Chain A
Amino acid sequence: MEEQLIETMSSDLPRSVAKGVTWMSSCLPFHLADRVIHGHNSTYLVQGEHSSILVDTGNPSSWPIISRTLDALLDGRQLTYVFPTHPELPHTGNLPRLVEKYPDIKVVGDIRDYHLFYPQIVPNLHAKVPGDRIELGGQEFTVVEALIRDLPNTQWGFVPEAGVLFTADGFCYMHRPELDDEDPVHLPGECGLTTSELREPVAVENAAFFTGSALYWARFANDADAVYDRVLHLIDDLGVKSVAPTHGNFISNIRDVEPIIRAGHKRAYRYETAQP
Protein backbone atom coordinates (compact mmCIF):
# COMPACT_ATOMS: atom_id res chain seq x y z
CA MET A 1 0.00 0.00 0.00
CA GLU A 2 2.79 2.41 0.92
CA GLU A 3 4.31 2.29 -2.55
CA GLN A 4 1.07 3.48 -4.06
CA LEU A 5 0.43 6.22 -1.58
CA ILE A 6 3.64 7.95 -0.61
CA GLU A 7 6.11 9.82 -2.69
CA THR A 8 9.46 8.19 -3.16
CA MET A 9 12.71 9.42 -1.71
CA SER A 10 15.79 8.80 -3.73
CA SER A 11 18.26 6.32 -2.39
CA ASP A 12 20.89 8.99 -3.25
CA LEU A 13 19.48 11.13 -0.48
CA PRO A 14 19.77 12.28 2.25
CA ARG A 15 23.14 13.71 1.38
CA SER A 16 25.43 16.10 3.22
CA VAL A 17 26.01 19.08 0.91
CA ALA A 18 27.82 21.53 3.21
CA LYS A 19 28.96 21.84 6.81
CA GLY A 20 25.98 20.80 8.94
CA VAL A 21 23.57 20.91 5.98
CA THR A 22 21.79 17.75 4.80
CA TRP A 23 19.76 17.68 1.60
CA MET A 24 16.61 15.59 2.01
CA SER A 25 14.31 15.22 -0.94
CA SER A 26 11.21 13.31 -1.66
CA CYS A 27 10.64 13.06 -5.37
CA LEU A 28 7.18 13.15 -6.88
CA PRO A 29 7.17 10.46 -9.56
CA PHE A 30 5.37 11.00 -12.87
CA HIS A 31 4.65 7.82 -14.78
CA LEU A 32 4.89 8.49 -18.51
CA ALA A 33 4.29 5.97 -21.25
CA ASP A 34 7.95 5.16 -21.71
CA ARG A 35 9.63 6.13 -18.46
CA VAL A 36 9.34 7.56 -14.98
CA ILE A 37 10.48 11.08 -14.21
CA HIS A 38 10.81 12.84 -10.87
CA GLY A 39 10.08 16.28 -9.46
CA HIS A 40 12.17 17.41 -6.51
CA ASN A 41 10.39 18.47 -3.37
CA SER A 42 13.34 19.07 -1.11
CA THR A 43 13.72 19.79 2.55
CA TYR A 44 17.04 20.66 4.18
CA LEU A 45 18.16 19.91 7.71
CA VAL A 46 20.70 22.29 9.26
CA GLN A 47 22.33 20.97 12.41
CA GLY A 48 24.43 22.80 14.98
CA GLU A 49 25.95 21.63 18.23
CA HIS A 50 22.76 22.00 20.26
CA SER A 51 19.95 22.84 17.87
CA SER A 52 18.65 22.05 14.42
CA ILE A 53 16.34 23.64 11.86
CA LEU A 54 14.36 22.06 9.04
CA VAL A 55 13.89 24.25 5.95
CA ASP A 56 10.45 23.46 4.46
CA THR A 57 8.44 20.40 5.44
CA GLY A 58 7.80 18.44 2.25
CA ASN A 59 4.49 17.18 0.91
CA PRO A 60 2.10 15.49 3.33
CA SER A 61 2.33 12.29 1.34
CA SER A 62 6.08 12.18 2.05
CA TRP A 63 5.63 12.32 5.80
CA PRO A 64 6.39 8.67 6.65
CA ILE A 65 9.77 8.75 4.95
CA ILE A 66 10.62 12.30 6.08
CA SER A 67 9.84 11.30 9.65
CA ARG A 68 12.07 8.24 9.41
CA THR A 69 14.90 10.25 7.86
CA LEU A 70 14.70 12.83 10.63
CA ASP A 71 14.86 10.05 13.21
CA ALA A 72 18.07 8.80 11.65
CA LEU A 73 19.70 12.20 11.26
CA LEU A 74 18.74 13.56 14.69
CA ASP A 75 19.69 10.34 16.45
CA GLY A 76 17.39 10.80 19.43
CA ARG A 77 17.56 14.61 19.63
CA GLN A 78 14.52 16.81 19.18
CA LEU A 79 14.07 18.98 16.09
CA THR A 80 14.32 22.52 17.47
CA TYR A 81 13.06 24.73 14.63
CA VAL A 82 11.23 24.49 11.33
CA PHE A 83 11.41 27.30 8.79
CA PRO A 84 8.60 27.06 6.22
CA THR A 85 9.62 29.33 3.36
CA HIS A 86 5.98 30.01 2.44
CA PRO A 87 2.58 28.42 3.02
CA GLU A 88 2.07 26.20 -0.02
CA LEU A 89 1.43 22.50 0.60
CA PRO A 90 4.81 21.26 -0.70
CA HIS A 91 6.54 23.63 1.72
CA THR A 92 4.29 23.52 4.81
CA GLY A 93 2.04 20.51 4.45
CA ASN A 94 3.69 18.57 7.26
CA LEU A 95 3.64 21.36 9.86
CA PRO A 96 0.88 19.77 11.99
CA ARG A 97 2.67 16.42 11.94
CA LEU A 98 6.00 18.02 12.87
CA VAL A 99 4.37 19.76 15.85
CA GLU A 100 2.76 16.50 16.88
CA LYS A 101 6.11 14.68 16.68
CA TYR A 102 8.14 17.51 18.27
CA PRO A 103 5.70 19.39 20.57
CA ASP A 104 8.26 22.05 21.58
CA ILE A 105 9.36 22.86 18.04
CA LYS A 106 9.44 26.53 17.10
CA VAL A 107 7.94 27.41 13.73
CA VAL A 108 9.94 30.44 12.59
CA GLY A 109 9.63 32.80 9.64
CA ASP A 110 6.97 35.07 8.17
CA ILE A 111 4.13 33.33 9.93
CA ARG A 112 1.32 35.58 8.73
CA ASP A 113 -1.78 33.51 7.78
CA TYR A 114 -0.62 30.38 9.60
CA HIS A 115 -3.02 30.99 12.51
CA LEU A 116 -5.85 30.72 9.97
CA PHE A 117 -4.55 27.56 8.29
CA TYR A 118 -3.25 25.67 11.32
CA PRO A 119 -4.99 27.05 14.45
CA GLN A 120 -3.75 24.07 16.45
CA ILE A 121 -0.08 25.16 16.16
CA VAL A 122 -0.48 28.81 17.17
CA PRO A 123 1.60 28.37 20.38
CA ASN A 124 4.51 27.15 18.25
CA LEU A 125 4.54 30.15 15.88
CA HIS A 126 7.39 32.66 16.23
CA ALA A 127 7.54 35.54 13.76
CA LYS A 128 10.89 36.42 12.22
CA VAL A 129 11.93 39.20 9.86
CA PRO A 130 14.88 39.45 7.49
CA GLY A 131 18.06 39.92 9.48
CA ASP A 132 16.93 37.82 12.44
CA ARG A 133 19.44 35.16 13.46
CA ILE A 134 18.88 31.79 15.06
CA GLU A 135 21.81 30.28 16.96
CA LEU A 136 22.20 26.53 16.52
CA GLY A 137 25.57 26.10 18.26
CA GLY A 138 28.62 26.75 16.09
CA GLN A 139 26.18 27.28 13.28
CA GLU A 140 23.73 30.09 12.62
CA PHE A 141 20.61 30.44 10.49
CA THR A 142 19.83 33.91 9.17
CA VAL A 143 16.45 34.97 7.80
CA VAL A 144 16.81 36.71 4.43
CA GLU A 145 14.38 38.72 2.29
CA ALA A 146 13.08 36.56 -0.57
CA LEU A 147 14.09 38.35 -3.76
CA ILE A 148 12.25 35.90 -6.04
CA ARG A 149 8.88 34.70 -4.81
CA ASP A 150 5.29 33.94 -5.59
CA LEU A 151 3.37 34.32 -2.31
CA PRO A 152 4.14 37.59 -0.51
CA ASN A 153 4.92 35.90 2.82
CA THR A 154 7.94 34.06 1.44
CA GLN A 155 11.33 34.22 3.11
CA TRP A 156 14.76 32.87 2.26
CA GLY A 157 17.38 31.63 4.71
CA PHE A 158 21.16 31.57 4.89
CA VAL A 159 23.70 29.56 6.85
CA PRO A 160 26.93 31.59 6.94
CA GLU A 161 29.20 28.80 8.18
CA ALA A 162 28.14 26.61 5.27
CA GLY A 163 27.62 29.39 2.72
CA VAL A 164 24.24 27.92 1.69
CA LEU A 165 21.34 30.15 0.61
CA PHE A 166 17.87 28.57 0.75
CA THR A 167 15.73 30.10 -1.99
CA ALA A 168 12.37 28.28 -1.88
CA ASP A 169 10.88 28.58 -5.41
CA GLY A 170 13.68 30.87 -6.56
CA PHE A 171 16.31 29.17 -8.74
CA CYS A 172 14.03 26.27 -9.48
CA TYR A 173 14.22 24.86 -12.98
CA MET A 174 13.62 21.77 -15.03
CA HIS A 175 16.14 20.31 -17.40
CA ARG A 176 14.07 18.09 -19.67
CA PRO A 177 12.79 20.39 -22.43
CA GLU A 178 10.40 17.94 -24.04
CA LEU A 179 8.18 17.61 -20.99
CA ASP A 180 5.06 19.66 -20.55
CA ASP A 181 4.74 20.03 -16.85
CA GLU A 182 5.05 22.81 -14.36
CA ASP A 183 7.35 20.97 -12.02
CA PRO A 184 11.09 20.71 -12.41
CA VAL A 185 11.86 17.18 -13.43
CA HIS A 186 14.78 14.82 -13.64
CA LEU A 187 15.36 11.16 -14.25
CA PRO A 188 15.84 8.55 -11.55
CA GLY A 189 19.51 8.53 -10.67
CA GLU A 190 19.75 12.32 -10.87
CA CYS A 191 17.86 13.05 -7.65
CA GLY A 192 20.95 13.55 -5.53
CA LEU A 193 23.21 15.22 -8.07
CA THR A 194 24.38 18.80 -7.70
CA THR A 195 24.23 21.06 -10.75
CA SER A 196 27.95 20.63 -11.37
CA GLU A 197 27.45 16.86 -11.37
CA LEU A 198 24.55 16.77 -13.84
CA ARG A 199 25.34 15.05 -17.10
CA GLU A 200 23.10 17.50 -18.93
CA PRO A 201 23.47 21.13 -17.83
CA VAL A 202 20.57 23.43 -17.23
CA ALA A 203 19.41 25.07 -20.49
CA VAL A 204 17.86 28.50 -20.90
CA GLU A 205 14.72 26.92 -22.40
CA ASN A 206 14.24 24.83 -19.29
CA ALA A 207 14.65 27.81 -16.99
CA ALA A 208 12.25 29.84 -19.14
CA PHE A 209 9.60 27.15 -19.06
CA PHE A 210 9.72 26.75 -15.33
CA THR A 211 9.88 30.47 -14.64
CA GLY A 212 6.93 31.18 -16.92
CA SER A 213 4.85 28.52 -15.19
CA ALA A 214 5.80 28.47 -11.53
CA LEU A 215 6.67 32.18 -11.36
CA TYR A 216 3.71 33.08 -13.53
CA TRP A 217 4.19 36.82 -13.04
CA ALA A 218 7.43 36.70 -15.02
CA ARG A 219 5.41 36.77 -18.23
CA PHE A 220 4.05 40.21 -17.31
CA ALA A 221 7.01 41.84 -15.50
CA ASN A 222 9.97 42.70 -17.67
CA ASP A 223 12.48 43.25 -14.89
CA ALA A 224 14.64 40.14 -14.78
CA ASP A 225 17.89 42.11 -14.82
CA ALA A 226 16.84 44.20 -11.85
CA VAL A 227 15.75 41.08 -9.96
CA TYR A 228 18.91 39.07 -10.60
CA ASP A 229 21.23 42.04 -10.08
CA ARG A 230 19.78 42.27 -6.59
CA VAL A 231 20.28 38.54 -6.14
CA LEU A 232 23.94 38.82 -7.18
CA HIS A 233 24.45 41.67 -4.73
CA LEU A 234 22.95 39.48 -2.02
CA ILE A 235 25.21 36.61 -3.02
CA ASP A 236 28.24 38.90 -2.79
CA ASP A 237 27.18 40.53 0.47
CA LEU A 238 26.48 37.24 2.23
CA GLY A 239 29.30 35.23 0.70
CA VAL A 240 27.01 32.59 -0.77
CA LYS A 241 28.81 29.49 -1.98
CA SER A 242 25.83 27.39 -3.06
CA VAL A 243 22.07 27.68 -3.47
CA ALA A 244 19.46 25.23 -2.19
CA PRO A 245 16.11 25.49 -4.01
CA THR A 246 13.09 23.42 -3.04
CA HIS A 247 12.27 22.16 -6.53
CA GLY A 248 15.55 21.60 -8.29
CA ASN A 249 18.97 20.11 -7.90
CA PHE A 250 21.29 21.64 -5.32
CA ILE A 251 23.23 24.41 -7.08
CA SER A 252 26.91 24.03 -6.34
CA ASN A 253 28.11 26.35 -9.14
CA ILE A 254 25.88 29.38 -8.70
CA ARG A 255 28.05 31.69 -10.82
CA ASP A 256 27.54 29.37 -13.79
CA VAL A 257 23.85 28.74 -13.20
CA GLU A 258 22.71 32.29 -12.40
CA PRO A 259 23.15 33.66 -15.97
CA ILE A 260 21.10 30.75 -17.33
CA ILE A 261 18.27 31.29 -14.87
CA ARG A 262 18.39 35.04 -15.56
CA ALA A 263 18.21 34.45 -19.33
CA GLY A 264 15.32 32.03 -18.84
CA HIS A 265 13.50 34.57 -16.70
CA LYS A 266 13.92 37.20 -19.42
CA ARG A 267 12.62 34.80 -22.04
CA ALA A 268 9.53 34.10 -19.96
CA TYR A 269 8.37 37.70 -20.53
CA ARG A 270 5.64 37.67 -23.18
CA TYR A 271 4.93 41.23 -24.21
CA GLU A 272 8.13 42.66 -25.61
CA THR A 273 6.26 44.38 -28.44
CA ALA A 274 3.89 46.03 -26.00
CA GLN A 275 6.70 47.98 -24.38
CA PRO A 276 7.19 51.63 -25.38
Chain B
Amino acid sequence: MFNTLHAGKLAVLGGSIPLDGRVSWVSRGATGFQPSNAYLLTDGSSSLLIDSGLAVHTEEILDDLAGLIGEGGGVSIFFTRPEMDCVSNLEPIAGRFDIERLFTGGVINPFDAFDDLSRLALRGRRHQIDAQRTEEGDSMARAAEIEIAPGRVLEVESPLLRLLPTFWGWDKETGTLFTSDTFTHGVMDRPDGQRIIDSTVEDTTTVEQVAGHLYAKYEWIPRSTCEPLREWLRDKFDTLAPEVIAPSRGCVLKGRDVVQRHLEFMLDALTPQLV
Protein backbone atom coordinates (compact mmCIF):
# COMPACT_ATOMS: atom_id res chain seq x y z
CA MET B 1 0.00 0.00 0.00
CA PHE B 2 1.33 3.41 -0.91
CA ASN B 3 2.22 6.07 1.65
CA THR B 4 1.31 9.71 1.20
CA LEU B 5 4.29 12.00 1.71
CA HIS B 6 2.54 15.24 0.74
CA ALA B 7 -1.24 15.23 0.30
CA GLY B 8 -2.22 15.50 -3.35
CA LYS B 9 1.39 16.04 -4.36
CA LEU B 10 3.62 13.09 -3.56
CA ALA B 11 3.27 9.42 -2.63
CA VAL B 12 5.70 6.52 -2.30
CA LEU B 13 4.79 3.13 -3.80
CA GLY B 14 6.36 -0.29 -3.73
CA GLY B 15 7.16 -3.27 -1.56
CA SER B 16 10.00 -4.44 0.60
CA ILE B 17 12.68 -7.09 0.17
CA PRO B 18 14.28 -9.34 2.75
CA LEU B 19 17.98 -8.77 3.26
CA ASP B 20 18.86 -12.45 3.27
CA GLY B 21 22.24 -12.58 1.54
CA ARG B 22 20.76 -12.54 -1.97
CA VAL B 23 21.05 -8.78 -2.50
CA SER B 24 24.26 -7.28 -3.83
CA TRP B 25 23.68 -3.64 -2.87
CA VAL B 26 23.80 -4.14 0.90
CA SER B 27 26.77 -5.18 2.98
CA ARG B 28 27.25 -8.87 3.66
CA GLY B 29 25.47 -9.84 6.84
CA ALA B 30 22.90 -7.04 6.55
CA THR B 31 19.52 -8.04 7.98
CA GLY B 32 16.00 -6.69 8.06
CA PHE B 33 13.87 -5.53 5.17
CA GLN B 34 14.58 -2.80 2.66
CA PRO B 35 11.81 -0.78 1.01
CA SER B 36 11.92 -0.60 -2.79
CA ASN B 37 10.50 2.74 -3.83
CA ALA B 38 8.74 4.37 -6.73
CA TYR B 39 7.36 7.87 -6.27
CA LEU B 40 4.32 9.47 -7.80
CA LEU B 41 4.31 13.26 -8.16
CA THR B 42 0.82 14.55 -8.84
CA ASP B 43 -0.66 17.91 -9.69
CA GLY B 44 -4.33 17.98 -10.51
CA SER B 45 -4.85 15.34 -13.17
CA SER B 46 -1.15 15.18 -14.12
CA SER B 47 1.17 12.49 -12.77
CA LEU B 48 4.87 11.74 -13.00
CA LEU B 49 6.16 8.39 -11.73
CA ILE B 50 9.80 8.38 -10.60
CA ASP B 51 11.18 4.86 -11.20
CA SER B 52 8.97 1.81 -11.45
CA GLY B 53 10.12 -0.51 -8.67
CA LEU B 54 11.21 -4.14 -8.78
CA ALA B 55 9.57 -6.82 -10.91
CA VAL B 56 9.00 -8.88 -7.79
CA HIS B 57 6.67 -6.06 -6.66
CA THR B 58 4.77 -5.66 -9.91
CA GLU B 59 1.34 -6.28 -8.42
CA GLU B 60 1.84 -3.83 -5.56
CA ILE B 61 3.08 -1.14 -7.91
CA LEU B 62 0.25 -1.59 -10.41
CA ASP B 63 -2.44 -1.71 -7.74
CA ASP B 64 -1.05 1.34 -5.96
CA LEU B 65 -0.87 3.20 -9.25
CA ALA B 66 -4.48 2.29 -10.04
CA GLY B 67 -5.51 3.60 -6.64
CA LEU B 68 -3.75 6.90 -7.24
CA ILE B 69 -4.45 7.71 -10.90
CA GLY B 70 -7.36 5.43 -11.69
CA GLU B 71 -7.46 2.24 -13.68
CA GLY B 72 -5.94 2.80 -17.13
CA GLY B 73 -5.00 6.39 -16.34
CA GLY B 74 -2.27 8.39 -18.00
CA VAL B 75 1.14 8.77 -16.40
CA SER B 76 4.59 10.01 -17.37
CA ILE B 77 7.68 8.22 -16.07
CA PHE B 78 11.19 9.41 -15.19
CA PHE B 79 13.95 6.84 -14.58
CA THR B 80 16.75 7.91 -12.24
CA ARG B 81 18.92 5.04 -13.57
CA PRO B 82 18.61 2.49 -16.39
CA GLU B 83 19.12 -0.29 -13.83
CA MET B 84 16.72 -3.12 -13.20
CA ASP B 85 15.64 -1.96 -9.74
CA CYS B 86 14.31 1.19 -11.44
CA VAL B 87 13.02 0.02 -14.81
CA SER B 88 11.68 -3.50 -14.19
CA ASN B 89 8.00 -2.61 -14.28
CA LEU B 90 7.93 -0.47 -17.39
CA GLU B 91 6.27 -3.09 -19.56
CA PRO B 92 3.54 -4.15 -17.09
CA ILE B 93 2.76 -0.48 -16.43
CA ALA B 94 2.43 0.07 -20.18
CA GLY B 95 0.03 -2.86 -20.33
CA ARG B 96 -2.37 -1.37 -17.76
CA PHE B 97 -1.88 2.39 -18.04
CA ASP B 98 -1.19 4.96 -20.72
CA ILE B 99 2.46 5.98 -20.60
CA GLU B 100 2.34 9.52 -21.91
CA ARG B 101 6.05 10.38 -21.76
CA LEU B 102 9.19 8.50 -20.69
CA PHE B 103 12.22 10.51 -19.54
CA THR B 104 15.54 8.66 -19.52
CA GLY B 105 19.23 9.24 -20.15
CA GLY B 106 21.92 7.22 -21.88
CA VAL B 107 21.77 5.37 -25.16
CA ILE B 108 19.55 2.47 -24.18
CA ASN B 109 15.86 2.96 -24.88
CA PRO B 110 13.96 0.94 -22.24
CA PHE B 111 11.04 0.55 -24.62
CA ASP B 112 13.35 -1.67 -26.67
CA ALA B 113 12.77 -4.43 -24.13
CA PHE B 114 9.20 -4.71 -25.42
CA ASP B 115 7.74 -6.79 -28.18
CA ASP B 116 7.96 -5.13 -31.56
CA LEU B 117 4.35 -4.02 -31.71
CA SER B 118 4.42 -2.27 -28.35
CA ARG B 119 7.84 -0.85 -29.05
CA LEU B 120 6.70 0.69 -32.27
CA ALA B 121 3.81 2.38 -30.52
CA LEU B 122 5.80 3.67 -27.56
CA ARG B 123 9.27 4.50 -28.81
CA GLY B 124 8.38 8.04 -29.83
CA ARG B 125 7.27 8.87 -26.30
CA ARG B 126 10.80 8.70 -24.93
CA HIS B 127 12.50 11.99 -24.08
CA GLN B 128 16.29 12.11 -23.75
CA ILE B 129 17.23 14.06 -20.62
CA ASP B 130 21.00 14.14 -21.08
CA ALA B 131 21.19 15.22 -24.71
CA GLN B 132 23.55 18.04 -23.75
CA ARG B 133 26.37 16.49 -21.79
CA THR B 134 29.12 18.40 -20.11
CA GLU B 135 32.40 18.15 -21.97
CA GLU B 136 34.15 16.03 -19.39
CA GLY B 137 31.21 14.13 -17.98
CA ASP B 138 31.09 15.85 -14.59
CA SER B 139 27.91 16.59 -12.73
CA MET B 140 25.32 18.12 -14.98
CA ALA B 141 23.89 21.42 -13.77
CA ARG B 142 20.19 21.50 -13.06
CA ALA B 143 19.40 22.24 -16.64
CA ALA B 144 16.86 19.62 -17.54
CA GLU B 145 13.33 20.22 -16.40
CA ILE B 146 10.39 17.88 -16.60
CA GLU B 147 7.05 19.61 -16.52
CA ILE B 148 4.72 17.77 -14.17
CA ALA B 149 1.93 20.25 -14.76
CA PRO B 150 1.82 23.90 -15.82
CA GLY B 151 3.84 25.84 -13.24
CA ARG B 152 5.36 22.77 -11.59
CA VAL B 153 8.55 21.13 -12.74
CA LEU B 154 10.93 18.43 -11.61
CA GLU B 155 14.48 19.70 -11.98
CA VAL B 156 16.92 17.00 -13.08
CA GLU B 157 20.66 16.76 -12.72
CA SER B 158 23.38 14.16 -12.97
CA PRO B 159 25.05 13.97 -9.55
CA LEU B 160 28.78 13.89 -8.97
CA LEU B 161 28.22 11.00 -6.54
CA ARG B 162 27.17 8.12 -8.75
CA LEU B 163 28.29 4.74 -10.05
CA LEU B 164 26.47 4.32 -13.37
CA PRO B 165 24.61 6.98 -15.37
CA THR B 166 22.29 8.43 -12.73
CA PHE B 167 19.96 11.39 -12.31
CA TRP B 168 18.64 13.10 -9.23
CA GLY B 169 15.36 14.95 -9.22
CA TRP B 170 14.34 18.04 -7.23
CA ASP B 171 10.69 18.91 -6.62
CA LYS B 172 10.73 22.37 -5.11
CA GLU B 173 7.02 22.32 -4.33
CA THR B 174 7.34 19.46 -1.84
CA GLY B 175 10.99 20.08 -0.98
CA THR B 176 11.87 16.56 -2.06
CA LEU B 177 15.24 15.45 -3.37
CA PHE B 178 15.13 12.14 -5.24
CA THR B 179 18.56 10.55 -4.71
CA SER B 180 18.29 7.25 -6.58
CA ASP B 181 20.92 4.83 -5.22
CA THR B 182 22.35 7.00 -2.44
CA PHE B 183 20.85 7.52 1.03
CA THR B 184 19.54 3.95 0.72
CA HIS B 185 20.49 2.85 4.22
CA GLY B 186 17.16 3.02 6.06
CA VAL B 187 15.88 -0.52 6.67
CA MET B 188 12.90 -1.97 8.51
CA ASP B 189 12.80 -4.82 11.02
CA ARG B 190 9.72 -6.35 9.43
CA PRO B 191 8.35 -6.32 5.87
CA ASP B 192 5.41 -4.07 6.73
CA GLY B 193 7.41 -1.77 8.95
CA GLN B 194 7.61 2.03 8.90
CA ARG B 195 9.09 3.01 5.51
CA ILE B 196 9.39 6.66 6.48
CA ILE B 197 11.89 7.92 9.03
CA ASP B 198 10.57 11.20 10.44
CA SER B 199 10.55 12.99 13.79
CA THR B 200 7.99 10.55 15.19
CA VAL B 201 10.22 7.53 14.67
CA GLU B 202 13.06 6.39 16.88
CA ASP B 203 15.96 6.63 14.47
CA THR B 204 18.69 4.14 15.33
CA THR B 205 20.74 4.75 12.19
CA THR B 206 24.51 4.77 12.67
CA VAL B 207 27.28 6.03 10.43
CA GLU B 208 28.55 2.46 10.17
CA GLN B 209 25.17 1.42 8.76
CA VAL B 210 25.21 4.29 6.27
CA ALA B 211 28.76 3.46 5.21
CA GLY B 212 27.95 -0.24 4.91
CA HIS B 213 25.15 0.43 2.46
CA LEU B 214 27.14 3.04 0.54
CA TYR B 215 30.28 0.92 0.20
CA ALA B 216 28.34 -2.18 -0.81
CA LYS B 217 27.58 -0.65 -4.17
CA TYR B 218 30.13 2.17 -4.24
CA GLU B 219 32.91 -0.17 -3.23
CA TRP B 220 35.57 2.24 -4.49
CA ILE B 221 34.75 4.94 -1.92
CA PRO B 222 37.17 3.73 0.80
CA ARG B 223 40.12 3.94 -1.61
CA SER B 224 39.14 7.21 -3.27
CA THR B 225 39.65 10.95 -3.06
CA CYS B 226 36.34 11.88 -1.47
CA GLU B 227 36.77 15.59 -0.72
CA PRO B 228 35.17 16.69 -4.03
CA LEU B 229 32.21 14.43 -3.29
CA ARG B 230 31.75 15.87 0.19
CA GLU B 231 31.98 19.43 -1.14
CA TRP B 232 29.47 18.73 -3.87
CA LEU B 233 27.03 17.06 -1.49
CA ARG B 234 27.22 19.78 1.16
CA ASP B 235 26.78 22.49 -1.44
CA LYS B 236 23.78 20.67 -2.90
CA PHE B 237 22.02 20.43 0.45
CA ASP B 238 22.91 24.01 1.41
CA THR B 239 21.45 25.26 -1.86
CA LEU B 240 18.27 23.22 -1.92
CA ALA B 241 17.57 22.75 1.80
CA PRO B 242 15.44 19.66 1.13
CA GLU B 243 12.67 18.60 3.48
CA VAL B 244 12.59 15.03 2.18
CA ILE B 245 15.26 12.63 0.86
CA ALA B 246 13.58 10.10 -1.41
CA PRO B 247 15.89 7.23 -2.47
CA SER B 248 14.93 4.45 -4.87
CA ARG B 249 15.40 1.95 -2.07
CA GLY B 250 15.60 2.29 1.69
CA CYS B 251 13.43 4.35 4.00
CA VAL B 252 12.27 7.82 3.02
CA LEU B 253 13.94 10.45 5.21
CA LYS B 254 11.46 13.20 6.08
CA GLY B 255 11.80 16.44 8.02
CA ARG B 256 14.55 19.05 8.10
CA ASP B 257 16.23 17.64 11.24
CA VAL B 258 16.15 14.08 9.90
CA VAL B 259 17.57 15.22 6.57
CA GLN B 260 20.37 17.14 8.26
CA ARG B 261 21.26 14.20 10.52
CA HIS B 262 21.47 11.79 7.61
CA LEU B 263 23.46 14.25 5.53
CA GLU B 264 26.05 14.32 8.32
CA PHE B 265 26.06 10.51 8.38
CA MET B 266 26.71 10.51 4.65
CA LEU B 267 29.46 13.10 4.88
CA ASP B 268 31.15 11.02 7.57
CA ALA B 269 30.78 7.90 5.43
CA LEU B 270 32.52 9.85 2.68
CA THR B 271 35.39 10.36 5.12
CA PRO B 272 36.32 6.68 5.32
CA GLN B 273 38.94 7.07 8.03
CA LEU B 274 36.16 8.13 10.41
CA VAL B 275 34.16 4.95 9.90
A222→B218 CA distance, assembly (Å): 15
Per the 8 Å Cβ criterion, residues 92-150 of B in contact with A are: 106-110, 112-114, 116, 119-120, 123, 133, 135-137
Interface string of A145-179 (1 = CB under 8 A from B): 00000111100000000000000000000000000
Interface footprint category on A: 35 or more
Query: In the assembled complex, which residues on chain B have CB atoms less than 8 Å from the CB atom of A220?
Result: 220-221, 224-226, 228-229
A88 touches B (CB below 8 Å): yes
B52-72 vs A: 1/0 string, CB under 8 Å? 001110000000000000000
- Given A5-B119, A90-B108, A220-B224, are A117 and B24 also a contact pair (CB < 8 Å)? no
Please tell me if B82 contacts chain A, counting CB pairs below 8 Å.
Answer: yes
| Interface set, chain A 70-96, CB cutoff 8 A to B | 87-90, 92-93
Residue of B with least CB distance to A89: B108
| Contact in complex: A5, B120 (CB < 8 Å) | yes
Stretch at the interface among A16-24, A107-115, A256-264: A107-115
Interface residue A32 (Cβ < 8 Å from any Cβ of B): no
Given the known interface contacts A89-B82, A117-B54, A216-B163, the answer about A5 and B22 at a Cβ–Cβ threshold of 8 Å is: no
Q: Which of A59, A117, A182, A217 contacts B84 (CB 8 A)?
A: A117
Cβ A182 vs Cβ B106 within 8 A:
yes
Q: Mark interface residues in A245-276 (1 if CB within 8 Å of B CB, else 0).
A: 00000000000000000000000001100110
CB-CB under 8 A from A30, the residues of chain B are 107
Contact of B107 among A92, A150, A183, A222 (CB under 8 A): A183
Interface of B is mostly: loop
Task: Count CB-based A-B contacts (< 8 Å).
Answer: 117
Nearest chain A CB to B205 CB, angstrom units? 22
**Are B113 and A93 within 8 A (Cβ)?**
yes
B264 on the A face (CB < 8 A): no
Judge whether A213 is part of the interface by a CB distance below 8 angstroms.
Answer: yes
Chain A residues near B163: list those with CB within 8 A: 150-151, 216-217
A144 at the interface (CB under 8 A from B): no
B217 adjacent to A119 (CB under 8 Å): no
Instruction: Return the chain B residue nearest A274 by Cβ.
Output: B225
- Is B107 a contact of A28 with CB atoms below 8 Å? yes
Q: Which residues of A contact B23 (CB under 8 A)?
A: 112-113, 116
Question: Digit string of A45-86 for contact with B (CB within 8 Å is 1, else 0)?
Answer: 000000000000001110000000000000000000000000
**A contact residues around B226 at 8 Å (CB):** 220
Say whether, besides A39-B107, A183-B107, A117 and B55 are in contact (CB < 8 Å): yes
Given A60-B112, A116-B17, A153-B24: A212 and B164 interface contact (C-beta under 8 Å): no
For the complex, give the distance between the alpha carbons of A275 and B112 in Å: 44
Interface residue A1 (Cβ < 8 Å from any Cβ of B): yes
A110 to chain B, nearest CB (A): 7
- Asked whether A112 lies within 8 Å of B112 as measured between CB atoms, the reply is no
Closest CB of chain A to B83's CB: distance in Å? Answer: 7
A28 CA to B110 CA, complexed, in Å: 14
* Interface residues in chain B, defined as those with a beta carbon under 8 Å from any beta carbon in chain A: 17, 22-25, 36, 54-56, 82-85, 87-88, 106-110, 112-114, 116, 119-120, 123, 133, 135-137, 162-165, 216-221, 223-229
Shortest Cβ-Cβ A-B pairs, 10 listed: A61-B112, A220-B224, A153-B24, A60-B113, A217-B220, A117-B84, A112-B24, A271-B225, A221-B224, A116-B54
Q: What are 12 of the A-B contact pairs (CB < 8 Å)?
A: A1-B120, A5-B112, A60-B112, A89-B108, A116-B56, A150-B163, A153-B24, A182-B137, A217-B220, A220-B228, A223-B223, A270-B228
